[in-house]
Structure 1
């Protein structure tokens, strides 16, 4: 069946589950013409509200109330330049869900999404999940602004649960993370049908992109639902493995080692052995305070809620088979079925590169899928670019490298032009690091 007919049939089949409920109140400045903004049906949505905006980028949506800056705080360097002036339609809403961790718009309802449809459409669609446990606007500065200016439609989901208590969603261990994958698939189908309705033809290419947990979602979708996508950019995606490296295996020794540093200088080796680069030591204090303990506890509660000991003493390998089975539900295999570009910083101080993307690259190779993968190790890159402003002589922003990778993926999927070979990209001695990155010398 041709793509447009498939999407039309899918819309008809699922339209009975879509209820356009009472609209939440969103700010409506003079350039928002709600009455003159007929929107396509978001298939499966319980609630949706549309606004025609003079600018879909954060330069406009911050003022109009169609983004939440707290969602994307800390993810980009202050010197990053973004495009603006992209008119079009924004659709906010949510799918049926029983959890209520997302309070945006006063909805108190999870599985919220945002879809943006630029007036000047290039024929493509970019879909994203959110990093960490952030909400649906988390990618607005680092992904949405830039792809909208290139003409893409854009869609993002909160993944179905948010915040530090995300693990309370679901019944069985692993349910909350498993829902992330389901919600991305759900949004991709809904966004593809909305695009076909809005523009009169389906998207010619659908690309996925995401950072951290959203990078994991790119990996999972290209392994498990590749028919929905043409390719993806995985920006330091989380690596979940039932029987290999995962954050529940490397964060506890880092926590123990860092706690012992004050009275045992030799404890530094425990942090290094956990996978963290020696050059990242100036970042350890911040990450120990802001990330390591919280991240370990949240995900241990998700996969192993019965554990009652100290998270610093947690031993994933020794935990019961049921814990490994819960992790197996969301594990990655490396069997990607569409082109994938992976980026990871050598100074990532949350997901150390040697325990994450280096391992995933080997999984891909072992599955015989190496030809569909490019992997760029970014010398000096950290997990979040916001720390570049504090450590400009140590770190290198990842954002411009993501943009270069996305351009390479465009050419790869559209014309078959292969990206530069897999490589470690050295940190330039100078220049505008917040806005430039070449994938080859």
Structure 2
């Protein structure tokens, strides 16, 4: 971290009667940690997102504490404490299911007394401790560098974050390009927090993002996977995706999807993706689970469709082309984002089952209904209606199939087969023609 890229801290104290934070809105366990640290003679403050969210009238999920006590000193004070982390050494004080994270003030420059490591301009380990002023200016955004003091209930602001919160503005502390180069994931944090909090990214903070977006290729794939879950499973998936588009980040995270969306002139694939993300936001708001496998099935479906279309155009048989396209898209994507197999394999199953929804053969219908991935694959089929209404007949059939008893479904399938035979149709030939059309149709959504 280059200290010259950071501003000089200037303390502004906002007294209790000039801000909206009340102890009633702070976790009792966080208050316990703050008071015990103060009683032991240490400085201790509620810091970061909790202070920001409370000022915005929101209800924080997590309450973090910053202190001049070292992690080892924190552990000596709390029997329910464990130390974690290599890149950033932290203390976790555990109260049942709630964890209060306690971080020691970190310094801007290494005088040789601490543990800091840089690689190619990126900070990979930072355990050099300093003062609260040092800690404030080394944080990422001004809105995250606010400290609530328990002794007088004031808010301490060293970098102008209080005014930025009032103006609902995201601003990087220091030189934006330097800070992004230190940690490219800050670009994703800017987009995510702006989407989550409905904040605007101020121009100087936003300007370098499209230029520096390729630096995300150097970030750890496992870390990018976690960032993707934060972006899309926190209830603000649509706004997050639109932010990624606005600042040119989609191509760095999902390169094959970005190429497919550019080449899809009708916009059908983007409509489907945005509808799926809107559905995800609705499920999160209703406190319903969202599988990462389904999320990535949506995010990478445009890439799969494009890969499948290319293989079919080369004359590859449908089923082989589907499997090959699914493998190709997955293998290329995991080079950027470490998608675990426990999610990538169900994702591929959701894609590959789409073709089977066109079948009306009794044995295949019952086999598909019994498939463990049926419900996820059916929900995905319904989602595809946002791209093309050509799937409406299949959706209606499978909706009725799920509502019918086994005997009722069997009777209706046999009656339909008999009707086709009565019309002089062979059972297998139309199905093969229909399957080939569905393979091509999958490419359009």
TM-score (norm 2): 0.31
Larger proportion of helix: 2
> Please, what TM-score do these two structures have when normalized by structure 1?
0.31
Greater radius of gyration (CA): 2
The structure, 1 or 2, with the larger RCO (C-alpha pairs under 8 Å, 6+ apart) is 1
